[in-house]
Structure 1
């Protein structure tokens, strides 16, 4: 039976049956001998006859009856034996012992009996067997042997039949009880052996006598016999007490001893619950249950509980926990702050009534007329079958929401939420909503807000008035389809309803801003604008632009007239410029001929007059060219030649051309830069004209003794020409500078912009004016 050790085998024999058979045989032999002697002396005397009668009576009373089977198969027996077989009389042959119905013996036993009788007749070997007559409840023990020739000649067989019903029933009962006991014992041994936990039994001396396989595996033994023989203990000594000493204590006290100890199994320390149970005076039984998982769960539960309480301390809501005895066992920090509870509360169990008293003393409970009744009402929370939700208003105006959650163990979880700020925000929100409604109703634009599902959410009175819609209709929050159907009668063309739907779809679904205009049947024009809102809704505004559209049309007509007048002016100036240049060229040519003496020698005064004429015509020619370039530039007709122009030589030449003017004005000009300034693509003549005009303005604006700085720089986006000067603020020089500016600066700006550049002027408070020319 596996490794379960020490169980002696139990064998149940049947010696009583053998003994009974011997007694019956001796009794029968004596009876036969007496019967034969009586027959032998039958005729001798009456006394012998009486003795024979007594012997016959004894045979009738005997527990064993003979049955003679002669060689020819005939049967000889008394009538009493027929009753044992359940028959009325003994049949003539053995085959008659089996009758149809509920009589005689069964055919199987009859065949076996005939085989045994036949074997005894042929070999003289005795036999024994049991017969069970049908329906009689008897058990007949049959012993057969070859008959003595004096009893029956010719090889007859004598069968001694013994009614062993009572003995057989007792033997059967004892056998069944023994087999049941053996089966129960085997099942118990198998159960103990198959148990996954170590189990053992100690004798009265506390030494191991029995161990199961789990015990052997736990201590690393080779077999149960080895473990028991070496008395290998599973549990190490704890606090100076060995496992056997603890077992002796359990036996002496007559009570089981349970303890949790650490056991090393397969190199791993695990927690086990060890029990020692006294078993009468026989010894002490024991078993060990692995509770490491349970201990781990307990450790995890304690860690989870600590983490949960730490988390509850971080919450904004107050939490208090009461046990089934209505004692406070935990309170988090927000709960302490809300009700001004002492820091030590919750470290020891505090009754609910005492907690309420502390809250009341701190003014942190609602003011009630009957405080004891109110407190008793709150104690009913523990008996409630559902969550209780209440609102408490404290004397200082604090508004609390109290949630009482009954726990399955009979305790209570109390959750407190401070809703004061929430209510204030709700009040502020209501105020903002009213302000928003009033603001929307005061707008000039009609306004509606639609949800992504197409339902109307908000509107103002202007929208209802512009489109002739009733408040009752808008109050049903219609879908966009129904809204467009209501707008169609107001539109000049029904196709505009689709345009309005597209504007709304762009704002709500595509999250795009779009607009448009629609004309109404009464002649008004509305400007539409769809705007996506941050909350996922879309807003549609409509503005009556009938008057502004009329004004816009008038302004467009006037602007067109001005554009045409400006074009006429530009063409006139261009034509006049060309017309002026022809006579001016003639005047300049005749004056130069006079200066060169073609018409004879001129006097000194005449030479001065001719020089003045040439100088005036040069300035006039320059002004005419400026006017021509300016008008062509404004008209977009200025012809430009594209070539590579080096800036440093160009600016240097411009400065040299104005050297006499600079010296005459007493101005210091500083030119900084080199060929690293690079080149630009453009018209060299017009670039020189533009830069020269800015330089001339700086020279003319600077007072005597002033300073003009010209810097050439190269940047990543192009070249820069920076001209800085300090202009005169007062006096005739400043007035002359303003008069001489003329068309120079506007022309310079037009020429620079024609080259895709920019010209910027920056006025500094004390350091003068900086003109920056940027060329790509």
Structure 2
């Protein structure tokens, strides 16, 4: 079959048309598919947006069937969305209650009939969610059969917020009312200014302070509490606070209740418009502050007078005060208080001055000391310093976080304590070393202190005293050792007199073992009483022996007195007879004598005179030493009396080639025995004549000084050494065997001394070898 050439083009054209139509159908199908896909995506997006939206749609048809997302069921606590509206009332704790379903059904029916929208809020039983339901007739595009569309909103948070806001509003109203009442009842004046700085509100205290009738009068008349200060009124100061948006506080004087008081006025800008103000009466605070400052100054002045160093540090550990002793103890430089140095700096300065103990790690030690600020209880430490100073440091924390440091130099106290301990030990050793037995009793009667000899003296065991017994207990033990136990009361009275009566009392007592004790009670300055006991048994025996010997001596003295009286007669009588016979022979009674015989008689007369004088000296010296020298005192004028004595020795002075000067006043009179005083002065003159070489000079001076008569006899002769003067003053003395007399030197000087002393005077010698001798007699 042959194909026409014309047919092929037609077929080609048809195929081309068919291909074009197929391609166009394909493009159209593709566009429809894309549109459908876009619609599906949009539907899914809208559905997702509805599901994720804050509201959930609920479609209720006329027959009661409902359509809603599963999220609505979860809001109600159901597993799935029920088919009908009436089925929303689930079991207990799930879904809505019957009452809530009935109310919702009534709203739905009314909307379906009248197309009237409704609003409803409910909380499913057993759920914390609050749901808001807004219902309206559904659009025909949604449901053409007159269904109701309900939007459910979860406004749990909103309702909680509203409830909270309501509570806050109610509380704010209550607080505002309370605040208004508080401001009105406040004891301090308070006020409020508007934007124009005019008073709008004042409290009762303000009204009373300015003396107004009411708050309306204050506002109407704009009565200010504070006068103009520094050219600015109170309103201008309030305006300045408003402009700065900062409170302004000032202290000034104001008239409150007709009295000038110091007040602290504060203008406080509020969040909105207006300025609030209040005035606090600080008059009492200022008075207390002044008193506190005065007290602080007085306290610091007092602390400066103490010998103990005191320093105060504030909560920042800076020094706020330190008295002079504190500066001295730690060698602090001036100005440390004004510079307010820190506590650690003070320790550093003290370390540089050697006023802290030697420590190995100073920074760690200083940090440890700084912990005193954090402690609750006082801290007390002892610091031995390198210079042997001992400090007692007390750190007292303060309630405000500060610290008071007290430094006491206890070096002297420790030295005194050591000295006291030494003295106590010395006293104990001294007590134990005494021959007396000592015991100290307290005023309450108990035994406080005793030495080792006390129990020995009374014959007691030392264990009896170990318990410091009362005096009654001790006396009961002592009574057992006495010869007469009843005599113990005397010892008790002695102890009582020393401790309570503060009187001294003594006595003597016999012990059963034959010993004799003397005791004495002595009050001590500290209120105690001292009982001292001494064993006088040996002394008593010696006393008896001495009494016996004294009686023997008295008898011997009487014998010696009789002997001296007898010897005076026995010596003088023969010498007088010899002298008398010699004188008769010289006068020729027995006949004329030859020249040689007369020389013999003259020699006998001279020897008798010398012997008589020596016998008189020996007897007078013996009587003087025995206290038997008889004196017959009369008034004697010294100058004529001594002149007479010198005249008797005039020839001897001339023969010796000497000169003698006599000086004195004729008015000098003394009470003396003329004969004995003449012998004393004569012996001294004879001694001066004998020991002064030819050409020498003797001076006799009579004077009266301070009521005492003075006779000085001086020469420029040989003089004596001190040893020779001592021998001369001894004169004669008994030999060592007691059977004879040993002659030491002439009898003149010892006899003169005895005679002067018998007159109540004194005889003194000033002599030097080869420089002469001065003998001074003083007579009352």
TM over 0.5: yes
Q: Which moved more, 1:401-410 or 1:307-316?
A: 307-316
Q: Which residue does the alignment assign to 1:364? A: 356
Structure 1 residue 249 and structure 2 residue 237: aligned?
yes
Query: Structure 1 pair 589/538, CA: closer, same or farther in 2 (3 Å)?
Result: same
Query: 2:391, 2:411 within 8 Å by CA — same for their partners in 1?
Result: yes
CA distance in 1: counterparts of 2:296 and 2:470, whole angstroms: 53
Shift of 1:673: 0.7
Structure 1 residue 710 and structure 2 residue 700: aligned?
yes
Query: 2:719, 2:768 within 8 Å by CA — same for their partners in 1?
Result: no
CA distance in 2: counterparts of 1:352 and 1:719, whole angstroms: 82
CA distance in 2: counterparts of 1:397 and 1:639, whole angstroms: 75
Q: Which residue does the alignment assign to 2:533? A: 542
Q: Which residue does the alignment assign to 2:775? A: 771
Q: Which residue does the alignment assign to 2:684? A: 694
Counterpart pick for 1:603 among 578, 591, 594: 594
Shift of 1:185: 12
CA distance in 1: counterparts of 2:612 and 2:406, whole angstroms: 96
CA distance in 2: counterparts of 1:631 and 1:639, whole angstroms: 12
Shift of 1:382: 4.2
Structure 2: which 5+ runs fail to align? 1-201, 732-742
Structural mapping, 1:511-526, within 5 Å? 516-526=507-517
Structure 1 residue 462 and structure 2 residue 450: aligned?
no
User: What whole-Å deviation, never above 9, does each CA across 1:72-106 have from its counterpart, x for those lacking one?
Assistant: xxxxxxxxxxxxxxxxxxxxxxxxxxxxxxxxxxx
Structure 1 residue 683 and structure 2 residue 683: aligned?
no
Counterpart pick for 2:572 among 571, 581, 589: 581
Structure 1 residue 756 and structure 2 residue 760: aligned?
yes
Q: Which moved more, 1:398-407 or 1:356-365?
A: 356-365
Secondary structure at the counterpart of residue 723 of structure 1: strand
Shift of 1:528: 3.6
Counterpart pick for 1:722 among 700, 712, 715: 712
Shift of 1:680: 1.6
Counterpart pick for 1:483 among 474, 495, 509: 474
Structural mapping, 1:584-663, within 5 Å? 584-633=575-624, 637-663=628-654
Query: Structure 1 pair 278/388, CA: closer, same or farther in 2 (3 Å)?
Result: closer
Query: Structure 1 pair 515/717, CA: closer, same or farther in 2 (3 Å)?
Result: farther
Query: Structure 1 pair 658/344, CA: closer, same or farther in 2 (3 Å)?
Result: same
Query: Structure 1 pair 294/750, CA: closer, same or farther in 2 (3 Å)?
Result: farther
Query: 2:359, 2:365 within 8 Å by CA — same for their partners in 1?
Result: no
User: What TM-score do the two structures reach when normalised by structure 1?
Assistant: 0.59
User: What whole-Å deviation, never above 9, does each CA across 1:633-679 have from its counterpart, x for those lacking one?
Assistant: 55555443343211111111111111122223333333221114x21
CA distance in 1: counterparts of 2:266 and 2:475, whole angstroms: 90
Secondary structure at the counterpart of residue 434 of structure 2: coil
CA distance in 2: counterparts of 1:407 and 1:379, whole angstroms: 13
Query: Structure 1 pair 276/418, CA: closer, same or farther in 2 (3 Å)?
Result: closer
Query: Structure 1 pair 503/246, CA: closer, same or farther in 2 (3 Å)?
Result: same
CA distance in 2: counterparts of 1:689 and 1:563, whole angstroms: 30
User: What whole-Å deviation, never above 9, does each CA across 1:132-173 have from its counterpart, x for those lacking one?
Assistant: xxxxxxxxxxxxxxxxxxxxxxxxxxxxxxxxxxxxxxxxxx
Shift of 1:388: 3.7
Shift of 1:260: 4.5
Query: Structure 1 pair 642/438, CA: closer, same or farther in 2 (3 Å)?
Result: closer
CA distance in 1: counterparts of 2:693 and 2:381, whole angstroms: 88
Query: Structure 1 pair 365/749, CA: closer, same or farther in 2 (3 Å)?
Result: closer
Query: Structure 1 pair 719/363, CA: closer, same or farther in 2 (3 Å)?
Result: closer
Structure 1: which 5+ runs fail to align? 1-183, 212-232, 264-269
CA distance in 1: counterparts of 2:534 and 2:424, whole angstroms: 23
User: What TM-score do the two structures reach when normalised by structure 2?
Assistant: 0.58
User: What whole-Å deviation, never above 9, does each CA across 1:463-496 have from its counterpart, x for those lacking one?
Assistant: 2222222333212223333333322222333465
Shift of 1:761: 3.6
Query: Structure 1 pair 755/307, CA: closer, same or farther in 2 (3 Å)?
Result: same
Query: 2:717, 2:771 within 8 Å by CA — same for their partners in 1?
Result: no
Query: Structure 1 pair 299/554, CA: closer, same or farther in 2 (3 Å)?
Result: same
CA distance in 1: counterparts of 2:212 and 2:750, whole angstroms: 112
Shift of 1:768: 4.5
Shift of 1:703: 4.5
Which of the pair has the greater relative contact order for Cα pairs under 8 Å at 6+ separation?
Answer: 1
Equivalent pairs, count: 550
CA distance in 2: counterparts of 1:306 and 1:711, whole angstroms: 78
Query: 1:698, 1:708 within 8 Å by CA — same for their partners in 2?
Result: yes
User: What whole-Å deviation, never above 9, does each CA across 1:166-219 have from its counterpart, x for those lacking one?
Assistant: xxxxxxxxxxxxxxxxxx999987764599xxxx98999x9xx789xxxxxxxx
Structural mapping, 1:314-333, within 5 Å? 315-333=306-324
Query: Structure 1 pair 601/300, CA: closer, same or farther in 2 (3 Å)?
Result: farther
CA distance in 1: counterparts of 2:268 and 2:701, whole angstroms: 114
Structure 1 residue 258 and structure 2 residue 246: aligned?
no
User: What whole-Å deviation, never above 9, does each CA across 1:334-385 have from its counterpart, x for those lacking one?
Assistant: 445555666554434455566667767878368599986994696365451x
